Structure formats: structure tokens, C-alpha cells
Amino acid sequence: MQSASDLINKDNKATILLMGLRRCGKSSICKVVFHNMQPLDTLYLESTSKPTKEEFKSLIDLAVMELPGQLNFFEPSNFYDSEKLFSSIGALVYVIDSQDEYLNALTNVSMIVEYAYRINPKIHIEVLIHKIDGLSEDFRMDTQRDIMQRVGDELLDLGLEGVQVSFYLTSIFDHSIYEAFSRIIQKLIFELPALENLLDLLIQYNKFEKIFLFDINSKIYVATDSSPVDIQTYEVCAEFIDVTIDLDGLYETGAEKLLLEDKNNKPIKCISKLKNGTILYLHQMIRGLALVALVRIDNGDTSNLSQKEIDDNVKTQLSIIDHNVCVFKKSLEKMWESSRIK
């Protein structure tokens, strides 16, 4: 398995490089995921003419670079030294516009993968089959199969049969782009197995059904427990963050408080009971992260209990959860202090 220490670039950051042909959607993805731009507003984005680099602080410090589609990557460039660039990045994310004729993109991605892999064999190669909102369910699957097959064949022709390429169906108009970026960023987190173990322990000793460790600003989850992710559960938990921020804004001095780290402030917590009895639980962590979980509290046979006794039981169980989450937060702090990528 790849060691994440190999992904640290000169600035000690995990770097993601976004590439793809013109108008495939690279800037839109950056704006929607990292700057909360409304997807429809991306219609007015101008074509990018120079490479851009943005930095984000989350559990790890992350840099996202975008190479404009109009640059011919294989021509000498004033903007970057491609050899240095590829040797310093953790993940290459290549975006393919699935609504457009994509054969050129497939040849382009294969050439880039060959080049990148030769310079940096540890690089993660991720292909986004993007703008799938315009395709029917059946056609999405056909397109994915076709692209995977053709990319596989091209790489085989180039003698690169061992290269691991991951494919994701994405759109900025739903949560698929967040899910894809969550999985990509997780590959750059050295401590991920340890984090997952801790989250599994939380599930084991509490009434959690599912836990996500979210980056509050982007709604990317940097870790989750080992049970499979169901997109609806993700959506409910991600939207709960917005609700919490809005509510906090009503009662506190500013919603941005949740995004900032202030040791003197108490961490923000929010609990909400859904109609089906499930409880949504949010607890602010370190570095702009929040633990968001679905909790199912089982009151057992309540026929002989008064409403007050039932409520007291729920309160007790929530206090135990609070205590355990605080212990998790301390472990997270320790983990981050000794983290290799900061």
C-alpha cells in the first residue's frame, strides 16, 4: 500500500492536480466543492488561462491545482515544470465531460497517466466521468463501462497494465462530486486506518448507525466508519451541518464561529430528532471538522414507562455518547499533533 508520507510535497501539503480538456468542468468543481458556489452560477465561469493553485486547511493541509484545458500539457510551458509538478503531487484527478464526444479525452488521459506514472509511480490516478446529470441511468452505466474499457486498453497498449485507475461518476448538481472528492482526499490521509478504527470503536460502544467526520466548509467527509456509505445518509448528515450553522447564526455572534477554531469557546453541538425516531448528532471537532452521526436510541419495552422516564433514558444515553465523542476528539487532537502532513 502507498505510504502517504510519499505524497508530501515541498510545502508539506497533500496536493491534488485537476486536469482535463477545455470546458470539462474543472473550475466548476473547485468552485462548488471548495467555495460553496451554487452549481447554476458556474454557467458564467470564464475559461481558465493559467494554472491556479488554492490551499485549504482541513484535517490535512490540502492544495488543489488546476491546469487549464487549453494548455497543451506536452508543450514546454512558462507556467510550470511538469516533471517537478508531477513528482510533488499526491493525486491526479482527470475530468472527462461525459456529455461531450470523449475519445480525445481518453487519448489525452492515457498519455498523461503514462507520463505521470513514469515520474511518480506512487501517484493516485482518479478519473471523474463528469456531468452525468445529463445522462439517463442506463446510459451512465454504459458510458462508465465504455470509458473504463477504453482507458484500460489504451494503458495496456502503453505497457501500463499494473496502473491502478479509479473511476467516479460525478455531477456538480448532486452529492456525487462530494462523495468522489471525499474518497480521493481520504487516500491522502496517512492516518485514515487509525481514524476508521476509532470511528468503528465509537459505533461499537454507542448507538451510532453511521458516523462521518466532515470538513464543515466543503462537506467532504475525511473519514467514516467501515460500514458502507449510503448517499441518502450522507445527504442528511451534510445538510444537518448547514442547519446547525444557520441555527448557530441565529443565537450566536456569527456562524463562522463553527468554522474557526477557538480553544476558549465551547465546541458546538447540535441534536435533532427525526420523524422515524433516529437522532442526528453533531459535535464540533478540531481544524474545521465536525463529527456528524445518526443515532438510534433503543428504549426497549416502553409500555410501562412514563414519557419522563423515556426522555431521561434518552438524555442518559446522549450523555454517554457525548463523553465518548469527547474522548474521540482528544485522540484526534493527539493524532493531528503527530501528523506527517499539516
Ligand X SMILES: Nc1nc2c(ncn2[C@@H]2O[C@H](COP(=O)(O)OP(=O)(O)OP(=O)(O)O)[C@@H](O)[C@H]2O)c(=O)[nH]1
User: For ligand X, what does the binding mask look like between residues 146 and 175, x meaning CB under 6 A?
Assistant: -------------------------xxx--
Among candidate residues 266, 237, 236, the one with its CA nearest the CA of residue 252: 266
By CB under 6 A, residue 288 contacts ligand X: no
CA distance 66 to 54: 9
CA end-to-end span of the chain: 21
Among 8, 56, 68, 213, binds ligand X (CB under 6 A): 68
By CB under 6 A, residue 176 contacts ligand X: no
Contacts with ligand X by CB under 6 A: the residue count is 23
Looking at residues 199 to 258 of the shown chain, list those that interact with ligand X (rule: CB under 6 A): none
Is the CB of residue 65 less than 8 Å from the CB of residue 11? no
CA distance 124 to 181: 13
By CB under 6 A, residue 104 contacts ligand X: no
Q: Which residues of 275-304 are buried (b: 16+ CB within 10 A; e: fewer)?
A: eeebbbbbbbbbbbbbbbbbbebeeeeeee
The DSSP-derived string for 107-173 is HHHHHHHHHHHHH-TT-EEEEEEE-GGGS-HHHHHHHHHHHHHHHHHHHHHTT-TT--EEEEE--TT
Among 53, 79, 134, 153, binds ligand X (CB under 6 A): 134
Long-range contacts of 330-338 (CB under 8 A, 24+ apart): 331/198, 332/195, 332/198, 332/285, 332/286, 332/289, 333/286, 335/191, 335/194, 335/195, 336/59, 336/286, 336/287
Is the CB of 175 or the CB of 340 nearer to ligand X? 175
DSSP code of residue 281: E
Is the CB of 8 or the CB of 21 nearer to ligand X? 21
By CB under 6 A, residue 48 contacts ligand X: yes
Cell of residue 221, nine digits: 467527509
By CB under 6 A, residue 131 contacts ligand X: yes
By CB under 6 A, residue 50 contacts ligand X: no
- Residue 52 CB, shortest distance to ligand X, in Å, is 9
Among 23, 57, 329, 342, binds ligand X (CB under 6 A): 23
Among 6, 22, 149, 330, binds ligand X (CB under 6 A): 22
By CB under 6 A, residue 26 contacts ligand X: yes
By CB under 6 A, residue 77 contacts ligand X: no
- Residue 48 CB, shortest distance to ligand X, in Å, is 3
Is the CB of 23 or the CB of 57 nearer to ligand X? 23
- Residue 66 CB, shortest distance to ligand X, in Å, is 7
Q: Which amino acid type is present at position 268? A: I
Is the CB of 68 or the CB of 288 nearer to ligand X? 68
DSSP H or E stretch at residue 97:
strand 91-97
- Residue 180 CB, shortest distance to ligand X, in Å, is 11
- Residue 51 CB, shortest distance to ligand X, in Å, is 11
Q: Which residues bind ligand X (CB under 6 A)?
A: 20, 22-28, 42-43, 45, 47-48, 68-70, 130-131, 133-134, 171-173
